[in-house]
Chains A and B, each alone.
Chain A
Amino acid sequence: MNVSTPQVKLTAKDYASDQEVRWCPGCGDYAILKAMQKTLADLQAKRENTVFVSGIGCSSRFPYYMSSYGFHTIHGRAPAIATGVKLANPELDVWIATGDGDGMSIGGNHMLHVLRRNVNVQILLFNNEIYGLTKGQYSPTSRPGTRSPSTPGGSLDSPVNPCTFALGSGGRFVARTTDKLMKHMPVIFERALAHQGASFVEILQNCIIYNDAVFENLTEKDQAPDTTIMVEHGKPLVFGSDGDKGIRIKPGTLVPEVVTVGQDGVTEADLLVHNEKDATLAHMLTTFAPPAFPLALGVLYCDPTESFEERIHGHGRVADVPDVNLADRAAIKADMDKIFLRPGTWEVK
């Protein structure tokens, strides 16, 4: 992680570029941008060593608004571009800004592979369950029956759950937050950056124009306590406006259930305790959704292993070509002769 204590302390503003932000007024993306700028300021991240890579879509304009390095690429391919950046320079902090269409539809394949390879990047998937930039068609995360210009009678296909997808792809860091959680987002972003390997963060983000209020039940203060659960490593799975609801495994089964502490003899000791390293629990948490269960927010899974770059560079597979004098003639000749003069040559006089 490229964090240091520079002589001049950078503020959140210092991480904003001079470009006018062009998302629709009221878009959830503004909050995410602000949270990111705050995170990097909190960490005093080096702007020169930070790179934002994006694909196509509203969320993919993100790099233009950061004062770090940025690459706005083509639809769905940010994970592949980011992998190349890390292959060339593993020291960079690389963030991928993507959306539900960019990351789960046209770029689904690359998302799978960047996760299973465990490339050391941070993936921010802005999930607004709709195509915004192309004017409101349903997306692969839209709920069944979503009416849109391309589905006037309501969409028919089942949506993909990004966090379940990420886990199933072999992701070792899976977290979820929302654009309304201004204190939570920086915590999650910081954790994602600290994680060695691919970190996947789903951010529920409101599209005020084409899918407004689709997450209202999850984000409004009067409803959120009963429809969401904030998980924390080592703490029991407790939620509810009175803090008395919890999740336990139904005795004698592998099935989770919502219980109320103090009712039917249920005590806090019966509740599941969150363990970030437990993949089975993590899978269960990714699938929780109202009305039967609260939507799980926080770090659902974090179990680091060797990253792709560590595997490539750490096992002597790729020699470190010295940076200086890479173009030194004697060195080039010596290296080329290593190739040319392997056994099998003959001389003609």
Chain B
Amino acid sequence: MTAHARAHPHPPVPITPEVDFVRIRFAGDSGDGIQLTGTRFAETSAQFGNDFATFPDYPAEIRAPAGTTYGVSAYSINIGKTEILTSGDQPDVLVALNPAALKINLPDLRRGGTVLVDSDSFTAKNLAKAGYETSPLEDDTLAQFTTIAIGISSMTKASVAHLGIGAKDALRCKNMWTLGLVLWMFGRGRQSVIKWLNAKFKDKPEIAKANIAALQAGNAFGETAEMATELRRFSIPPAPVESGVYRTATGADTLAWGLYAGSRLAGLKLVLGSYPITPASTLLHILSRMGDLGVTTFQAEDEIAAVCSAIGASYAGALGLTTSSGPGIALKTEAIGLAISAELPLVIVNVQRGGPSTGLPTKTEQADLLQAVFGRNGDAPVVVIAASSANDCFDCGIEAVRLATQFMTPVILLTDGYIANAAEPWRIPDMSEDRYAPFPVKFRTDPEGYHPFLRDPETLARSWAVPGTPGLEHRIGGLEKDYHSGNVSYDRDNHQRMTNARVGKILGIANHIPEQTVDFGEDEGPLAILGWGSTYGAIRIAVRRSITGDLPVSHVHLRHIWPLPRNLERVLSRFERIIVPELNTGQLTTLLRSQYPKIRLEPMNKVNGQPFHVSEIEAAIIKALEG
């Protein structure tokens, strides 16, 4: 169903994850440089040829008070020799730089897993902040785990003492000390990190030197420390992956590139109007660096101006794009209605986060599906598609542009914080492949018989004439238009006809999108797991493991949310039971029940800010098939 799913239809399945791959979680204070440590480790693993998936989890506050449980920042990485699709499962190794990080993350750790802590941070004050009455290093809290307690802070300070930097700067290097040790544990070289540090701190050579010294010291510790025997040294062979050129990319990267590629395939200039919002700002940042390729980016004064500038750009013949997250999309609602009424192409990206209102800005959720499909005044249909992974974002970006321009309609593209932030090894697509054939927009230039709402009989898309074209001067707007002239009309039969045309145009797109396929497993059977968006990885692995264990289950994953694929009902009707896991309270279920009342769907929902674990989906499969 997704491009990259098609690329390798039957890769090996990890049955015993603790053998096939290792899941590491770094956790510490939000000021400890955890995200950076994780990112560097992911990068190093990627260069080593490992397959991996990452899951950053950081607090909403930029710098929450040190030592508190709500200031804990974490970064999970799965590394393995098989295809890795999720990072949300139980970690095998937990690196906790303070008691609060241990407190928050310990419940996730696999029984028998390894805990690596900075014993220096287990002071009475920090223990109290984390809510520990006694030190977990001394009581039986960690009895089920392999505990490695190292004075990371003091060893870091010692490792940089000869450089004469301040105590505060010295302590800041503790993430690098830790990374040095972890790189040793996993048999990774340090060269790429050193290179990166030198580049990052090229204007502060003393800071670069200190970080490198700490990195080397941590690595040397693993090599020489007395307790080294306690460290389980993992060795992960490179994963068998499809041949090609790869790079590390987050969902934000691949989406930005996909949208740009789409604009080029349509033959249009890309104009982004955006307003900073977590977790969508990354898209604005990435596209802002693409000016040399012809991308225009505009940081507007607010969310409304952001979408309006994109609409203005589309009106003038560019591809208007706006990127945001739930609260920002809410503000854009009226303007999206204008683009629907004026029938202008527009791409709206919603990088979903926890809601309602400000909600959980940095946590992931899929609760904006119904907002996307229905959340406007009037009968205001749009196209909605959802990306299922960082890899899928590139093709979804192109698909959004294709539909927006060929059908003269806004398209809402849903991703979420998990997809946007997760880094994956990404096989660079070959743009000369047929699937990336251009779909150039043909602007109307012939004045003969022209009016702005003249429709293509096949697609119902209106003709697109842009300012600057002689003889095609016309006026459009949010008032109802006459079907036959495009002029303002309050005629009641006309409004019925125009409403039908707008709704029919969008529903008709079902004939121009791929039919639904079963992603993995048989086309019929006792059970299907139906997902959309970022639950893809967890469902896929859970279903594959189950199938390998001879459980009859299939995975169906939706990319096109509205209109739905025209054969979806038929596909679903071949399964006796259908479980629909969603990170919301049942929105896809609600939508599908309204369309296919005969199909029985069983919602499976959670909204705790975390992605589904493979084990949760597996448990649901087992329960359903036993029941």
Q: Is B570 an interface residue (CB 8 A)?
A: no
Q: Roughly how many angstroms separate A259 CA and B198 CA in the complex, as a whole number?
A: 71
When the two chains form their complex, are residues B308 and A71 in contact, meaning their CB atoms are under 8 A apart?
no
Chain A interface residue count, Cβ-Cβ cutoff 8 angstroms: 63
- Which positions 29-59 of chain B face chain A at CB distance < 8 Å? 43, 46-47, 49
Question: Known: A80-B300, A113-B301, A318-B291. Is A48-B467 also a contact (CB below 8 A)?
Answer: yes
Smallest Cβ distance from B563 to chain A, in angstroms?
26
The interface-forming segment of A173-181, A264-272, A337-345 is A337-345
Q: Is B304 an interface residue (CB 8 A)?
A: yes
Question: Known: A49-B468, A327-B267. Is A348-B309 also a contact (CB below 8 A)?
Answer: no
- Which positions 59-98 of chain A face chain B at CB distance < 8 Å? 63-64, 66-74, 77, 79-89, 91-92
Residue of B nearest to A72 (CB): B477
The interface-forming segment of B13-21, B237-245, B410-418 is B237-245
Which residues of chain B are near A68, meaning CB under 8 Å? 473
Question: Known: A19-B488, A326-B268, A336-B257. Is A82-B312 also a contact (CB below 8 A)?
Answer: yes
When the two chains form their complex, are residues B468 and A348 in contact, meaning their CB atoms are under 8 A apart?
no
Which residue of B267, B290, B437, B475 is within 8 Å of A71 (Cβ)? B475
The interface-forming segment of B87-95, B313-321, B574-582, B583-591 is B313-321
Q: Is B130 an interface residue (CB 8 A)?
A: no
Q: Is B440 an interface residue (CB 8 A)?
A: yes
When the two chains form their complex, are residues B301 and A109 in contact, meaning their CB atoms are under 8 A apart?
yes
When the two chains form their complex, are residues B294 and A69 in contact, meaning their CB atoms are under 8 A apart?
no
Q: Roughly how many angstroms separate A349 CA and B427 CA in the complex, as a whole number?
A: 12
Q: Is A320 an interface residue (CB 8 A)?
A: yes
Chain B interface residue count, Cβ-Cβ cutoff 8 angstroms: 80
Q: Roughly how many angstroms separate A92 CA and B432 CA in the complex, as a whole number?
A: 35
Which residues of chain A are near B316, meaning CB under 8 Å? 51, 84-86, 88-89, 92
Q: Is B266 an interface residue (CB 8 A)?
A: yes
When the two chains form their complex, are residues A84 and B310 in contact, meaning their CB atoms are under 8 A apart?
yes
Which residues of chain A are near B487, meaning CB under 8 Å? 19
Which residue of A47, A77, A88 is within 8 Å of B305 (Cβ)? A77
Which residues of chain A are near B302, meaning CB under 8 Å? 109
Q: Is A32 an interface residue (CB 8 A)?
A: no
Which residues of chain A are near B439, meaning CB under 8 Å? 327
Q: Roughly how many angstroms separate A337 CA and B428 CA in the complex, as a whole number?
A: 9
When the two chains form their complex, are residues B245 and A88 in contact, meaning their CB atoms are under 8 A apart?
no
Residue of B nearest to A328 (CB): B438
Which residues of chain B are near A312, meaning CB under 8 Å? 296
- Which positions 276-298 of chain A face chain B at CB distance < 8 Å? none
When the two chains form their complex, are residues A84 and B320 in contact, meaning their CB atoms are under 8 A apart?
yes
Residue of A nearest to B428 (CB): A340
Smallest Cβ distance from B620 to chain A, in angstroms?
34
When the two chains form their complex, are residues A51 and B467 in contact, meaning their CB atoms are under 8 A apart?
yes
Which residue of B308, B436, B466 is within 8 Å of A80 (Cβ)? B308
When the two chains form their complex, are residues A49 and B467 in contact, meaning their CB atoms are under 8 A apart?
yes
Q: Roughly how many angstroms separate A176 CA and B595 CA in the complex, as a whole number?
A: 57
Which residue of B271, B431, B474 is within 8 Å of A87 (Cβ)? B271
Which residue of B317, B431, B479 is within 8 Å of A332 (Cβ)? B431
When the two chains form their complex, are residues A71 and B301 in contact, meaning their CB atoms are under 8 A apart?
no
Please encode chain B, from 310 to 336, with 1 for each CB lying within 8 Å of some chain A CB and 0 for all others.
111111111010000000000000110
Q: Roughly how many angstroms separate A74 CA and B264 CA in the complex, as a whole number?
A: 30
Smallest Cβ distance from B66 to chain A, in angstroms?
33
Please encode chain B, from 459 to 495, with 1 for each CB lying within 8 Å of some chain A CB and 0 for all others.
0000000111111111111110000000110000000
Q: Roughly how many angstroms separate A199 CA and B534 CA in the complex, as a whole number?
A: 48
When the two chains form their complex, are residues A339 and B488 in contact, meaning their CB atoms are under 8 A apart?
no
When the two chains form their complex, are residues A85 and B296 in contact, meaning their CB atoms are under 8 A apart?
no
Smallest Cβ distance from B200 to chain A, in angstroms?
14
New A-B pairs, 10, CB < 8 Å, besides A77-B308, A110-B304: A17-B475, A48-B473, A71-B476, A73-B477, A79-B305, A85-B316, A87-B273, A321-B293, A332-B438, A347-B243
> 7 tightest A-B contacts by CB?
A84-B312, A72-B477, A321-B294, A84-B309, A80-B308, A327-B267, A70-B475
Q: Name B's A-contacting residues (CB within 8 A).
A: 43, 46-47, 49, 241-248, 257, 260-261, 264-269, 271, 273, 290-296, 298, 300-302, 304-306, 308-318, 320, 334-335, 337-338, 342, 428-432, 436-440, 466-479, 487-488
18 contacts between A and B (CB under 8 A): A46-B470, A63-B477, A64-B488, A72-B479, A80-B301, A81-B309, A82-B312, A83-B309, A85-B316, A85-B467, A88-B269, A88-B318, A89-B468, A109-B301, A318-B295, A318-B296, A327-B438, A336-B431
